[in-house]
Structure 1
Amino acid sequence: MCGIFFRVVRDVEDSTCDKVQLQRIRDALRCRGPDCANTITIELNNVGKLTFFSTVLSMRDPLTVQPLQSVDTTNILQFNGEIYDVAGDLKEYGNNLLLDEAELDNDQIGPGRNDTSLVMHLFERFGVQMTIQCLRGEYAFVYFDRANQTVWWARDCIGRRSLLVNSSVPGEFSLSSVPSFDHEKRKNWVEVKGGSLFKLDLSQMNLETEIPWTVDENTSNLTYPYSTISHTAFDEYKPEQFYLSEFESILREAVQRRVLAITHAAHSNYAILFSGGIDCTVLAYHLITILHDHSLTIDFLNVAFENPRTGGGYNTPDRLLGRRSFEELSKAPGCVNAKCKLNFVEINIPFHEAQEYKAQVIDLMYPKQSVMDYSIALAFFFAARGVGHITLSFESGQLSQKAEEYSTPSRILISGLGADELYAGYSRHSAGFRRGGYDTLAEELALDFGRLHERNLGRDDRVGANWGKELRYPFLDEDFVKFSLECPLSYKIRADFESEFIGKYLIRLFARKVGLYRAAEESKRAIQFGARSAKMDIGSGKIKGTDTFL
């Protein structure tokens, strides 16, 4: 995880740059990348002054200082994210990018090379567009091609990392992982659209090119590594066992890629955002079985808020469910003899502490401004911080109760985001199915998946990364997305004999297969209600989630 800030100013003396605001942005970027901070400044004739400021949260050896500048060409790369594989025409460059389980030496976890340096090499040798077509991972970047005096930038095709752009002032152009913290100036900052690659000709500051991702392979644009959602309801030729087996193996590989992409020996902890719901419990199962024979620690981060409006203390729905699912995992056949240690970490947030950080959370989640976005962002903000108490621990086959203050050292946060959008986890999906059958369901799912970059991912990245953490999304792995979009709709929603609709059908099948029977029966509960971070002020019950703060 890294922090990116880039600005080009044609007339430095007339620049609207505010030094105080720039410093606040840099401070916020240092929170994202505490291991390294560096600036490169260039002045180009007929262009102006270019400033590249980067911070680094080092996840792979060796620590690569950013902005990364090539020796021969003086091109500059700012890269935020992880590359898990290289496919297509450049697939040979994916060799040894990550180690396979069979290659691990005892407890050693890690990839074979640094991905930022790899991306720079591929950009210079094959060009940006061809390289982006072949990369698989979660990233955002800014790349300066000095010879052609162009700047390229993008989020990955799903949009899993934050990147904002401001081109509102003539003669100025800015990109950043976080927005301006000035309430007036930040109105011109918008999220870079996921699903497009952008290029700016610096000699003509108003000449911006957008290269979109598309499902059409016969195009000069970029081609998605997956197709549009299938409208097929049932598969008459392949049995249920086929889809269950594919689901299991592809999701396991997706989790494995996100677990093994770390090298530092000091990083012996992993963490998962854990509400106890079926999505995160299934991911936790894979996490435990992948790390089964390694002396590592997995922290289960469960957040609860003191909500004066609802009362009830910290025994929130997600707290009760989280404990129950944690205990069920400890008894599951694939987990019971695990060598790794499991910690259930209760993160209790008093009302006064939530209020103390309210302004910061609102700033970080911008350009999202709604009450609902704040409720969700608040929960992610404190869950990602990972400061609480270990109350349950599972080690050497024994489940024990504790009361130990704790702060997770893990820099990796596994998130279950994407399962609802791919497998019909929201009530509106059931409503769409009831209204128009599987065709309407497919339309609703396509809409939700297509706007993840705008509705969820940028916001979650900005608030979670504030603590020097990196969110990783196994359900949004490109291979898993491809399988899920092609999967018949009956494995997403199915009607039972009582005419009730069962969403996330295939995920529930898998949970039952591995012994997670109670988790398999859990219904969807939004994090803001499960953790009680929604509408915490007395008298706020009538406020709508779509209302804005600003």
Structure 2
Amino acid sequence: MCGIAIVVSGVRFELSSFLPDYKPPPPLHSQPVHYPKVTVEDIKAVLERRGPDNLGTRKVYPQKNDDPVAELYFVGATLQLTGITPVFQPLVDTCSNVLVYNGEIFGGLHISKDSNDSETLMHSLGKCCPCNCHGHIIECQCIEDGQISVIELLSTIKGPWALIYWQDSSKTLWFGRDAFGRRSLLVHWPTWDDPRFLLSSVSPPLPVKDNSGEGQMKDLGFWEELSCGIYSVKLNETNLTGCLVGEVRKHDWADPVLNELINWERTYVERKAHEIYPHSVTVKKGHHILNPCNTNGISTKSSCTAEDGKLCAEVPASLVNGNNVHLPVSLPAHNVLVALREAVVRRAIINPIYQATVCKTIQDTPVPVAILFSGGLDSMILAALLDQCLDLCYEVDLLNVSFDEQHAPDRISARAGVKELQRISPSRRWNLVEVDADLSNLTSETKHVMSLISPSKTYMDLNIGIALWLAAGGDGWVDLGISDNCHRVKYKSDAKILLVGSGADEQCAGYSRHRTKYRLGGWLGLHEEMKLDMQRIWKRNLGRDDRCISDNGKEARFPFLDEDVIKTLLKVPLWDVADLDQPVGRGDKKILREVAQLLGLKESAFLPKRAIQFGSRIARESNRKNFGSNRAANQASAGSVVIQIPTNLSDTEAILATSQ
């Protein structure tokens, strides 16, 4: 998919029950003429940058007494990765329902091999209950007819999504994003300055100057990340002035399993000596494991026996020799490996159209899937799993960005990682795409990325955004490996699917602050910090990252944030997930280090965590440029410094304002 938006005019939104501190604009009939800061054309221009297969619009005019009194302006851009026939958004059915959808459906709804997610969803939404009970089953009169509510349907979807749906029969606008916020959806609630209601996957650049002449970025708050969930606005003809009124309601998820994942409660947090934990069993070297493999080399269900009892798990064929496991491994690590591999399989399915057109001759070198690659633990696991899931006729692009050429830590580990991948899978063509960047030469690019990360606005957000944006662009160099001499040639990755390791650190205690919380608050303190990370990842990371990656015409997919992976990790006792009494590179993300060993990854299984802004060294260069030195940046707490652009300076010249 690619991006969606809607601009609603002529409707007075009631938000008092939803946003207690909300100050509504004056009545529509008494509002002065406004010059919109964001237009539909602005949104379309940003979506066009992504290189969609098509981009379309649709206007809906809700009426009162047969006269149009409001306008719903839908925008939908499609990057088609599923289905065999072209899909054009917005989708409109025979009942005048309208859908714009940005997402993938990996479970919950049956999607046939040749079908498109959006079309299947549109068909299912068209069968949903049209009554006004908003999903409250006790009130719903449609249950006897076998209908379900929009809420129930959307709650079943597994995978990343954001949508806007007009249900014409009930005059209700539905919108929302998945429970973890893996797809961007920004909102502008009506204000005195701009009384329209807007939703958008993208944040077009706003004018720098305002009318006050005070020289401040007054419009930084125009957009905000829409919190995860399902919302509805039913348009009622109740206003005495003749305009439509819509009350915004946020609904609870209808799936109890999904609610458990959102609450993020772990069964075993603190280890107690007198309790027995059935999942904490070690399968040691020499234990008998049967491991039949299919023709693609992907392991299938296996059975194992040990003195601890019968265990069921999957083990990669590379670890089995004469039915003996080469390394000590735990059952939780097996279970996580299984869930992760299935998550990668779901995210690496190739569009039948793509398969039919690019694999015609031996000379073709198709690259449908790329990986955001640092050579660290998370990206190495994704690469090794992708290798098991993808036919060997496909090459894999490994996208790596550096602001210090060959000296950045991520560049060094990436080159070492490729050698390890070549060792475990010599038949695969691995393309390490080295993107070399110089921050001092990225003036216009920095301004552009600032609009992409909005409403995020700190230097840390900007550093991460630039690194992600450049890496996802995949415009770099590859080493042909001729003789012993390095011979690099220009290369640009055309892969449309980009696997990203987001969510691994939050779920497996990969951040340094996790050690601090464990030291101060023990297991409970660690659990609460990890829970907080997972419940705010939509706001701090995912919307920003999705916008930066999608701007290059790529679709970011996050296997570590697959619903089944999250569920599996929550079943693992916390002390099996991480052991923070051990040194860095050992106890942090312990469970993933065991998964790496199961995959045959030796060196990378013990690499310490490095955030992209440090591993690529953009943080160092940014500190020097904007603060004078790393020391000055540390003293200023650079991570919390907000970027502001004054109107009396050039558009790209930034000043600092602490967010204290």
- Decide whether the 8 Å contact of 1:201 with 1:208 is kept in 2: yes
Q: What does the per-residue CA deviation read over 1:506-531, in whole Å, with 9 as the maximum and x for residues that have no partner?
A: 11112123321110110111100100
Q: 1:353 to 1:64 in 2, by over 3 A?
A: farther
After alignment, is 270-279 or 528-537 more displaced?
528-537
Q: Does 1:250 align with 2:287?
A: no
- Decide whether the 8 Å contact of 2:4 with 2:75 is kept in 1: yes
- Please give the alpha-carbon distance, in whole angstroms, between the structure 1 residues aligned to 2:150 and 2:485: 52
- Please give the alpha-carbon distance, in whole angstroms, between the structure 2 residues aligned to 1:498 and 1:33: 46
1:274 corresponds in structure 2 to 373
Q: 1:545 to 1:485 in 2, by over 3 A?
A: same
Q: Does 1:16 align with 2:14?
A: no
Q: For residue 105 of structure 2, give the secondary structure of its aligned residue in structure 1.
A: strand
Equivalent runs, 1:345-424 vs 2, <5 Å: 345-391=433-479, 402-424=487-509
Query: Structure 2 residue aligned with 1:151, among 149, 155, 173?
Result: 173
- Please give the alpha-carbon distance, in whole angstroms, between the structure 1 residues aligned to 2:34 and 2:406: 47
- Decide whether the 8 Å contact of 1:142 with 1:154 is kept in 2: yes
After alignment, is 371-380 or 29-38 more displaced?
29-38
Equivalent runs, 1:264-343 vs 2, <5 Å: 264-265=353-354, 266=357, 268-269=366-367, 270-291=369-390, 293-306=391-404, 313-332=405-424, 335-336=425-426, 338=427, 340-343=428-431
1:90 corresponds in structure 2 to none
Q: 1:17 to 1:287 in 2, by over 3 A?
A: farther
- Please give the alpha-carbon distance, in whole angstroms, between the structure 2 residues aligned to 1:213 and 1:296: 39
- Decide whether the 8 Å contact of 2:585 with 2:609 is kept in 1: no
- Please give the alpha-carbon distance, in whole angstroms, between the structure 2 residues aligned to 1:528 and 1:29: 26
2:54 corresponds in structure 1 to 36
State the Cα distance separating 1:187 from its structure 2 match.
Answer: 2.0
Q: For residue 137 of structure 1, give the secondary structure of its aligned residue in structure 2.
A: coil
- Decide whether the 8 Å contact of 1:215 with 1:228 is kept in 2: no
1:104 corresponds in structure 2 to none
- Decide whether the 8 Å contact of 1:225 with 1:482 is kept in 2: yes
2:99 corresponds in structure 1 to 77
Query: Structure 2 residue aligned with 1:113, among 115, 140, 143?
Result: 115
Q: For residue 556 of structure 2, give the secondary structure of its aligned residue in structure 1.
A: strand
- Please give the alpha-carbon distance, in whole angstroms, between the structure 1 residues aligned to 2:582 and 2:615: 29
Equivalent runs, 1:86-97 vs 2, <5 Å: 86=108, 93-94=109-110, 97=112
2:226 corresponds in structure 1 to 192
- Decide whether the 8 Å contact of 1:226 with 1:478 is kept in 2: no
Query: Structure 1 residue aligned with 2:234, among 190, 197, 201?
Result: 201
- Decide whether the 8 Å contact of 1:81 with 1:140 is kept in 2: yes
- Please give the alpha-carbon distance, in whole angstroms, between the structure 1 residues aligned to 2:505 and 2:576: 13
Query: Structure 2 residue aligned with 1:63, among 72, 86, 93?
Result: 86
Q: For residue 158 of structure 1, give the secondary structure of its aligned residue in structure 2.
A: coil
- Decide whether the 8 Å contact of 1:213 with 1:224 is kept in 2: no
Percent of paired sites with the same residue? 33
- Please give the alpha-carbon distance, in whole angstroms, between the structure 2 residues aligned to 1:496 and 1:39: 56
Q: 1:207 to 1:495 in 2, by over 3 A?
A: closer
- Please give the alpha-carbon distance, in whole angstroms, between the structure 1 residues aligned to 2:481 and 2:114: 33
- Please give the alpha-carbon distance, in whole angstroms, between the structure 1 residues aligned to 2:253 and 2:494: 37
1:264 partner letter: I
Q: Does 1:456 align with 2:541?
A: yes
State the Cα distance separating 1:215 from its structure 2 match.
Answer: 8.4
Q: 1:317 to 1:287 in 2, by over 3 A?
A: same
After alignment, is 532-541 or 430-439 more displaced?
532-541
State the Cα distance separating 1:495 from its structure 2 match.
Answer: 4.7
Q: Does 1:176 align with 2:211?
A: no
- Please give the alpha-carbon distance, in whole angstroms, between the structure 1 residues aligned to 2:509 and 2:278: 23
- Decide whether the 8 Å contact of 1:393 with 1:400 is kept in 2: yes
- Please give the alpha-carbon distance, in whole angstroms, between the structure 1 residues aligned to 2:383 and 2:484: 16
Q: For residue 232 of structure 1, give the secondary structure of its aligned residue in structure 2.
A: coil
Q: What does the per-residue CA deviation read over 1:158-204, in whole Å, with 9 as the maximum and x for residues that have no partner?
A: 1000001112236521111112421544522111102x211112335
- Please give the alpha-carbon distance, in whole angstroms, between the structure 2 residues aligned to 1:73 and 1:36: 23
- Decide whether the 8 Å contact of 1:341 with 1:393 is kept in 2: no
Q: 1:19 to 1:546 in 2, by over 3 A?
A: closer
TM-score (norm 2): 0.73
RMSD of the TM alignment (CA)?
2.6
Count matched residues.
Answer: 510
Q: What does the per-residue CA deviation read over 1:198-242, in whole Å, with 9 as the maximum and x for residues that have no partner?
A: 11123354510001348867xxxx745566231434562231432
1:212 corresponds in structure 2 to 252
Query: Structure 1 residue aligned with 2:265, among 229, 238, 241?
Result: 229
1:545 corresponds in structure 2 to 639
- Please give the alpha-carbon distance, in whole angstroms, between the structure 2 residues aligned to 1:497 and 1:352: 40
Q: 1:16 to 1:82 in 2, by over 3 A?
A: farther
- Please give the alpha-carbon distance, in whole angstroms, between the structure 1 residues aligned to 2:49 and 2:384: 31
TM-score (norm 1): 0.87
Q: 1:540 to 1:168 in 2, by over 3 A?
A: farther
- Decide whether the 8 Å contact of 1:416 with 1:473 is kept in 2: yes
- Decide whether the 8 Å contact of 1:33 with 1:55 is kept in 2: no
- Decide whether the 8 Å contact of 1:21 with 1:181 is kept in 2: no
- Please give the alpha-carbon distance, in whole angstroms, between the structure 1 residues aligned to 2:153 and 2:521: 41
State the Cα distance separating 1:424 from its structure 2 match.
Answer: 0.4
Q: For residue 252 of structure 2, give the secondary structure of its aligned residue in structure 1.
A: strand
- Decide whether the 8 Å contact of 2:372 with 2:471 is kept in 1: yes
Stretches of structure 2 lacking an aligned partner (at least 5 in a row)? 11-27, 129-148, 209-217, 237-243, 283-329, 359-365, 645-660
After alignment, is 118-127 or 145-154 more displaced?
118-127
1:345 partner letter: V
State the Cα distance separating 1:326 from its structure 2 match.
Answer: 1.1
4+ residue runs over 6 A deviation: 11-15, 497-501
Stretches of structure 1 lacking an aligned partner (at least 5 in a row)? 87-92, 98-110, 307-312
Query: Structure 1 residue aligned with 2:612, among 524, 527, 530?
Result: 527
Which structure has the larger Rg over C-alpha atoms? 2
- Decide whether the 8 Å contact of 1:214 with 1:224 is kept in 2: no
State the Cα distance separating 1:19 from its structure 2 match.
Answer: 8.0
State the Cα distance separating 1:27 from its structure 2 match.
Answer: 0.7
Q: What does the per-residue CA deviation read over 1:457-485, in whole Å, with 9 as the maximum and x for residues that have no partner?
A: 00001111111110000000000011112
- Please give the alpha-carbon distance, in whole angstroms, between the structure 1 residues aligned to 2:536 and 2:494: 32
- Please give the alpha-carbon distance, in whole angstroms, between the structure 2 residues aligned to 1:500 and 1:466: 34
- Please give the alpha-carbon distance, in whole angstroms, between the structure 1 residues aligned to 2:124 and 2:351: 21
Query: Structure 1 residue aligned with 2:551, among 454, 466, 475?
Result: 466
- Please give the alpha-carbon distance, in whole angstroms, between the structure 2 residues aligned to 1:168 and 1:493: 45
- Please give the alpha-carbon distance, in whole angstroms, between the structure 2 residues aligned to 1:446 and 1:425: 13
1:181 partner letter: P
- Decide whether the 8 Å contact of 1:3 with 1:56 is kept in 2: yes
Q: For residue 517 of structure 1, give the secondary structure of its aligned residue in structure 2.
A: coil
- Please give the alpha-carbon distance, in whole angstroms, between the structure 2 residues aligned to 1:414 and 1:44: 41
Query: Structure 2 residue aligned with 1:262, among 351, 364, 378?
Result: 351
- Please give the alpha-carbon distance, in whole angstroms, between the structure 2 residues aligned to 1:295 and 1:245: 28
- Please give the alpha-carbon distance, in whole angstroms, between the structure 1 residues aligned to 2:60 and 2:220: 25
1:430 corresponds in structure 2 to 515
1:133 corresponds in structure 2 to 155
Q: 1:454 to 1:285 in 2, by over 3 A?
A: same
State the Cα distance separating 1:499 from its structure 2 match.
Answer: 10
Q: 1:497 to 1:175 in 2, by over 3 A?
A: closer
